Chain A
């Protein structure tokens, strides 16, 4: 039922959004998704997604389970390519060089080297704290110990976990608490200085205190890196993001400044979701 409403109301609003997109593209867009479709086999999971990801801002993706927000997020670093029988059409253009991240000619591994990701469940490797953070650098062939140490420290400081682990760098990462593990995973992603950092419900497995720390960290990181975050928690989206996109049934329903989405959404579907009528 709701989809129909959305469809009918869409066109005028989209036009305005396009205007905004052009404006953004001119100065500060980091990535732009245009007419993005995505299929698992014959099942179309994303339908005609158009979205601008502004540089050095936090963009949140919200929507009910199964709406495609994680699927969309995973297009940015081509995680879907690990599965057989998946297909993209349309584009996600990364600026300033204007490479199409989902283009067939673009190597998914190269994409993943440039765009970091933090997962729902903290997934440190069964290695030491140091080696976890150094992992991406080692993949790229870094082996100079002092150089590595500097970069690891910088990344750990960036993820606000340096003080907690500086004396435990050679301990197993699996000995850390859940919240620490997740910040370690953030440090691991930061070490290679990605152009965009993707967060896939990064706090859903954490307690409220650990969650607060991660949220604070995301707000800080915004100064340095473009962030795209999927979250189930609307308060979280409201707290950390600058822009919020609402997705429903594989489509992007509405995107706007976070303050506007949460106070005065223009779509009924968005309002219903935000006020907890479904999802």
Chain B
């Protein structure tokens, strides 16, 4: 009895107490450091918004919002300067549309196949390989679009110009297939097993269960995959910069060359514009539009994903 008491008092002696205080203070200090690192994310967002808004504000001192939104030409670097964002937006939307025509059907079919038909083993081995498609550097995809896809398409469409939005869009579509597939597949796999069992027990085939129960059940998750895919296509830069030409043209015809918002930023960055020129500021204005477009889709995607997570 007394021996135990003695041991206890040594283990909890004065030294032990001070060391606990030291350990607790160290813990608090470390927590602050960790918090600071987590705040880097917040500061990055703030910095992005701040830089884009401040630099654009210089731009909008020269250019009215009205001109920016309604002028049908974008030629900030020419002597006859026009500052209408529409041609860049039309290029961006056209490329995105072509990309989605590829990515949504292929991505969805692959997702359904992997989630509902493939064996566990097949799924586990195919998914990482599929994700490699999304890991290919975009500049390599640019090479693919310009020097392989376009010549290939020209065999069927002799009039297709060497730079065109079609090849760029098709390749971007291929690039985001794994992304759309993987997010949709995650959503489908989150549909509970008992839901599938209910359907199978009624005598449904796999395809019927997939299309009538799993896809509707995972709808908000699949929608999130599409929306986030759109956001990626809008923000993709190098493929369009390389393969679509850099000529801002107000057109929705994918067989024509045109510039997207991102391609324009690259084009200006390649030159050597002085820091205070309107050309320099114009890329921030274009970047702001790009940021707003992707932000809208990202926010919708975020809430759809959350809604989906809550459902199950």
Tell me, yes or no, whether A and B come into direct contact in the complex with CB atoms closer than 8 A. yes
Taking beta carbons and an 8 Å cutoff, which residues of A are in contact with B?
Answer: 77, 79, 82, 84, 109-114, 116-117, 119, 121, 123-127, 135-136, 138-140, 185, 188-189, 192
B268 sits at the interface (CB 8 A)? no
Min C-beta distance of A122 to chain B, whole Å? 9
Q: State the CA gap A185–B202 with chains docked (Å).
A: 11
Known: A84-B119, A119-B194, A135-B199. A125 touches B205 (CB 8 A): no
Considering the complex, give the chain B residue whose CB is closest to the CB of A174.
Answer: B311
A125 to B311, CA, bound (A): 13
For residue A84, which residues in chain B have a CB less than 8 angstroms away from its CB?
119-120
> Is there contact, CB below 8 Å, between B198 and A125?
yes
Enumerate chain A residues within 8 angstroms of B204, measured Cβ to Cβ. Answer: 109, 112, 135, 139
In-complex Cβ contact of A192 among B197, B200, B202, B311 (8 A): B202
**A82-B200, A119-B197 known; A135-B205 Cβ under 8 A:** no
Q: Which one, B119, B198, B200, B216, contacts A185 given CB within 8 A?
A: B198
**In the assembly, what is the distance between CA of A136 and CA of B204, in Å?**
8
Tier of interface size on chain B: 20 to 34
Binding site for A on B (CB under 8 A): 119-120, 192, 194-195, 197-205, 208, 212-213, 216-217, 311
C-alpha gap A87/B203 in the complex (Å) = 20
Instruction: Give the residue name and chain of the A residue nearest to B213 (CB).
Output: A125
User: How far is A140 from B205 in the complex, measured between Cα atoms in Å?
Assistant: 11
Do A119 and B202 contact each other (CB < 8 Å), given the known contacts A84-B119, A126-B217, A135-B212? no
Known: A84-B119, A127-B216. A113 touches B194 (CB 8 A): no
Q: Are A112's CB and B119's CB within 8 A?
A: no
**A-B contacts, 20 listed (Cβ < 8 Å):** A82-B200, A84-B119, A109-B203, A109-B204, A110-B203, A112-B201, A113-B203, A116-B202, A119-B197, A123-B194, A125-B198, A125-B199, A125-B212, A125-B216, A126-B217, A126-B311, A127-B216, A135-B202, A139-B203, A185-B198
Nearest chain A CB to B189 CB, angstrom units: 15
A136, B202: Cβ atoms closer than 8 Å: yes
* A113 near B200: Cβ-Cβ < 8 Å: no
B195 to A, closest residue via Cβ: A123
A116-B119 contact given A123-B195, A127-B216, A139-B208, CB 8 Å threshold: no
The reply to whether A136 and B217 form a contact with Cβ atoms under 8 Å apart is: no
- B interface secondary structure, majority: helix
Complex-state Cα separation, A77 to B217, whole angstroms: 24
- Contact (A125, B203) CB under 8 Å given A84-B119, A139-B208: no
Asked whether, in the complex, the Cβ of A119 is within 8 Å of the Cβ of B213, the reply is no
Given A84-B119, A125-B195, does the pair A79, B200 have CB atoms closer than 8 Å? Answer: yes
**Among all A-B residue pairs, the 6 with the closest Cβ atoms:** A113-B203, A117-B201, A112-B203, A123-B198, A123-B194, A136-B202
CB-CB under 8 A from A127, the residues of chain B are 216
Chain A nearest CB from B123 CB (Å) reads: 13
Q: Across the interface, do A112 and B200 meet the contact criterion of CB distance under 8 Å?
A: yes
A140 closest partner in B (C-beta)? B203
CA of A104 to CA of B119 in the docked complex: distance in angstroms? 21
Residue of B nearest to A84 (CB): B119
Inter-subunit contact A109/B194 (CB<8 Å): no
From A119, A136, A185, B203 is in contact (CB under 8 Å) with A136
Pick the contact of A79 from B119, B197, B217, B311 — CB < 8 Å? Answer: B197
Give complex CA distance A117, B196 in Å: 13
| A212 CA to B26 CA, complexed, in Å | 61
